Each structure stands twice: as C-alpha cells, then as structure tokens.
C-alpha cells in the first residue's frame, strides 16, 4: 500500500451526544411526539436485563432500549414510526449553549494562512449509543463528517430478494446495527484508518501508523462520564486528547468528571457550555491549535529528512 494513501492532514473532534452536546436524551422529542412518559420508558428499559435473565437470556444493557422501541411500535404505542420521522424529530433536539457555533469556530482555526499552506482540515464526528437518524436530523448534522450510532431497518429483505431492488419504506421493524459503550472504540479506529472515506479498507485491515488517515494523536474526544472510559482510554493511550464535560450546577455530574480527571482518564474537564470565551471552548480551541502547530512542525521535519541539499558554492 502506498505511503501516500492519506496525507494525514486531518484533525478529528469526536463527540458523544447525550449529556455532552445535549442536556437531554435525544429520544425526548420522540416520546413527546407520542405522549409517552420518558421516565417510564427508561425505567422499563433499565429493568429489561433482569426481566430477560429469568428466561436465561442475556441482553446488552446499553442497547436493549432499541428492541423496546420496536416493541412499542409493534404494540401500536408508536404507530407509524419510520426513519423519516426519526430524522424529522431530530430537528427538535435541544443543545447546550454554544452548540453548534463551536463546530464552526473550531474549523475556522485552520483557515489561518499558515495552516492553509499545510492543507490542514478539521472534521467533526458523533459517536453515540443513540439514534443515527435523529442525529442526522439535528442542528449539528451540517457540521458532521460522519455519524456512528444505532439504526433501524424498515422493510427487511425477503427470501430470494434481488440485490438490485430498492428496499421499501415503512415503519421500523428490525435493528440494523448498534453501538454500545465498548464498541464505540471501533468507531475511533474506523476514523483512524479512514474506513469512512475508503470503503475498500476494513477496520480489521493491517495499516501502519504512518499510513492511517487520522492518527489518534490528532484526535480530541469529548464526552460526559464513566460510560465513555473505554473510548477515553483508547484516545489517551495513543496520544490523543480526552475532555470530560459536566452539567453546570450539578454537583453529581461534576463529581463524576472530577473522578475521571483524578484517576487520569481524561486530560481536562469543564462545563458543557461551549460559548466563546468559556473554559470549555478555550480548551478545545487551544488543543486544536496545538495539534495543528505540531502537525506543521512534523511536516517541516519530514521535508528536511527527505530533501538532500545540494553543495554550496565555494569562494
């Protein structure tokens, strides 16, 4: 594989979603649409592992809510729920102050002439256990280069289907794929290797570090709590930057992220307030600048190592 497969000129900011970008679970507009108690739904979902264990069945705690949503559809509690409706409801998701402006501001840092000379770019990604279609319909969608989250199939392919057929639309009936708090790390490596940009590359392919699209040292991971420890660990182990946010005014949320900082899980923490001039915005802007400056220095070093200077004229 060619050493020039990727230019390694990208900085990636990877965001969790619920309680990181939004103060609410993204499914809140969905429950409001159908007049369903959000608290009751999550209480039912949280009790599912114990419920199914009585039948000797193990379900994944992070993602069993997806099957429960399908049960609500099948029982007529959420009639007509489709991917299109999920995307439409995503427009109602509320965000913390400074979102989505921070997405624009971080990208704008690399518009400086010295970074443009190096053709540096910044990309935003969301990696979430939530619903991909709701994220795609939300206010942050225009700023994203990719979304890793859970998805549904509407009309399944029947036996003997033709690969050339277009799947029919309808209500959601099956889980197409999901992320849990551990498999979020797979998304990090897919971004790292450029799987989202080159379909011919698999996350399981062997790819030397200097040929990967986004080195993890060029990544910043932003999330809100202990459930993101696997991702924080991968990012920091490989030289990236990890930042934990908490809800302003919440002693409980602050204690969670303070413990992450104390135990070395993250580089820093701050409030989930992304307005210009605030602690979190300043930290993110500083790290993007530091990464960009280091990338430019690395470029200069690489140039020096590959250029063999000609002899000077002697007097």
Tokens of 8: 């390694």
Residue 257 DSSP one-character state: H
Q: Average of pLDDT values for 141-150?
A: 97
Higher pLDDT, 202 or 261: 261
Window from 64-73, 103-112, 208-217, 241-250 with minimum mean pLDDT = 208-217
The Cα 225–Cα 185 span in angstroms is 15
What are the strands, taking DSSP E only, across 17-88? none
Higher pLDDT, 199 or 235: 235
Q: Classify residue 152: in a domain, yes or no.
A: yes
Q: Burial, 6: exposed, middle or buried (Cβ in 10 Å; 0-12, 13-18, 19+)? A: buried
The per-residue pLDDT for 203 is 67
Q: Classify residue 312: in a domain, yes or no.
A: no
The per-residue pLDDT for 196 is 86
* 310 — pLDDT class (breaks 50, 70, 90): low
The per-residue pLDDT for 113 is 95
Contacts of 255 (CB under 8 A, 6+ apart): none
* 161 — pLDDT class (breaks 50, 70, 90): very high
Contacts of 195 (CB under 8 A, 6+ apart): 201, 202, 203
Q: Classify residue 170: in a domain, yes or no.
A: yes
Q: Classify residue 271: in a domain, yes or no.
A: yes
Q: Classify residue 293: in a domain, yes or no.
A: yes
The per-residue pLDDT for 1 is 39
The Cα 151–Cα 174 span in angstroms is 9
Residues in a beta bridge with 151: 177
The Cα 89–Cα 98 span in angstroms is 21
Higher pLDDT, 194 or 109: 109
* 313 — pLDDT class (breaks 50, 70, 90): low
Spatial contact of 163 and 65, defined as CB atoms under 8 Å apart: no
The per-residue pLDDT for 197 is 81
The Cα 82–Cα 230 span in angstroms is 32
Among all chains, which residue has been given the structure tokens 């949320």?
A: 253
Q: Classify residue 102: in a domain, yes or no.
A: yes
Span 169-183, pLDDT tens digits: 999 999 999 999 999
The per-residue pLDDT for 304 is 63
SS3 116: helix
Sheet holding 144-153, edge to edge: 174-177, 144-153, 121-131, 10-15, 219-223, 241-246, 268-271
Q: What is the mean pLDDT of the chain?
A: 92
Q: Which of 62, 98, 85, 173 is nearest to 134 (CA)?
A: 85
Q: Average of pLDDT values for 105-126?
A: 96
The per-residue pLDDT for 2 is 42
Tokens of 50: 């114990």
Q: Average of pLDDT values for 86-111?
A: 98
Greatest extent of the chain over all pairs of C-alpha atoms, in Å: 92
* 128 — pLDDT class (breaks 50, 70, 90): very high
> pLDDT at residue 22 above 50?
yes
pTM of the model: 0.92
Q: Classify residue 121: in a domain, yes or no.
A: yes
Helix H or strand E encompassing 136: helix 132-136
Provide the domain count of the chain.
1
Q: Is 239 left (phi over 0), alpha (psi -120 to 50) or beta?
A: left
For residue 221, the domain's CATH number is 3.40.50.1000
The per-residue pLDDT for 93 is 98
The Cα 260–Cα 246 span in angstroms is 11
Q: Domain range spanning residue 43? A: 10-306
Q: Classify residue 60: in a domain, yes or no.
A: yes
């Amino acid at each position: 594989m060619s050493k020039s497969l990727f230019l390694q000129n990208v900085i990636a900011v990877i965001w969790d979603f619920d309680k990181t970008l939004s103060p609410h679970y993204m499914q809140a507009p969905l429950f409001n649409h159908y007049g369903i108690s959000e608290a009751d739904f999550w209480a039912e979902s949280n009790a599912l592992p114990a419920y199914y264990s009585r039948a000797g069945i193990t379900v994944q705690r992070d993602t069993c809510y997806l099957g429960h949503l399908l049960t609500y559809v099948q029982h007529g509690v959420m009639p007509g729920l489709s991917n299109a409706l999920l995307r439409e409801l995503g427009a109602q998701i509320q965000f913390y102050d400074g979102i989505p402006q921070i997405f624009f501001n971080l990208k704008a840092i690399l518009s400086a002439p010295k970074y443009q000379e190096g053709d540096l770019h910044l990309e935003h990604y969301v990696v979430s256990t939530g619903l991909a279609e709701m994220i795609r319909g939300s206010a942050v969608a225009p700023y994203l280069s990719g979304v890793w989250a859970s998805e549904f199939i509407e009309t399944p392919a029947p036996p003997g289907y033709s690969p050339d057929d277009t799947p029919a639309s309808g209500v959601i009936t099956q889980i197409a794929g999901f992320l849990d708090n551990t498999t979020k790390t797979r998304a990090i490596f897919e971004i790292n290797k450029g799987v989202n940009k080159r379909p011919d590359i698999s996350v399981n392919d062997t790819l030397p570090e200097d040929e990967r699209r986004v080195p993890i040292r060029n990544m910043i991971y932003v999330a809100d709590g202990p459930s993101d420890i696997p991702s924080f660990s991968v990012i920091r182990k490989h030289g990236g930057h990890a930042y934990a946010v908490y809800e302003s005014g919440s002693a409980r949320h602050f204690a969670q992220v303070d413990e992450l900082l104390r135990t070395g899980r993250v580089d820093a923490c701050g409030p989930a307030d992304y307005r210009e001039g605030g602690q979190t915005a300043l930290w993110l802007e500083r790290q993007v600048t530091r990464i960009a400056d280091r990338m430019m220095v690395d470029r200069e070093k690489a140039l020096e190592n590959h250029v063999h200077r000609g002899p000077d004229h002697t007097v």
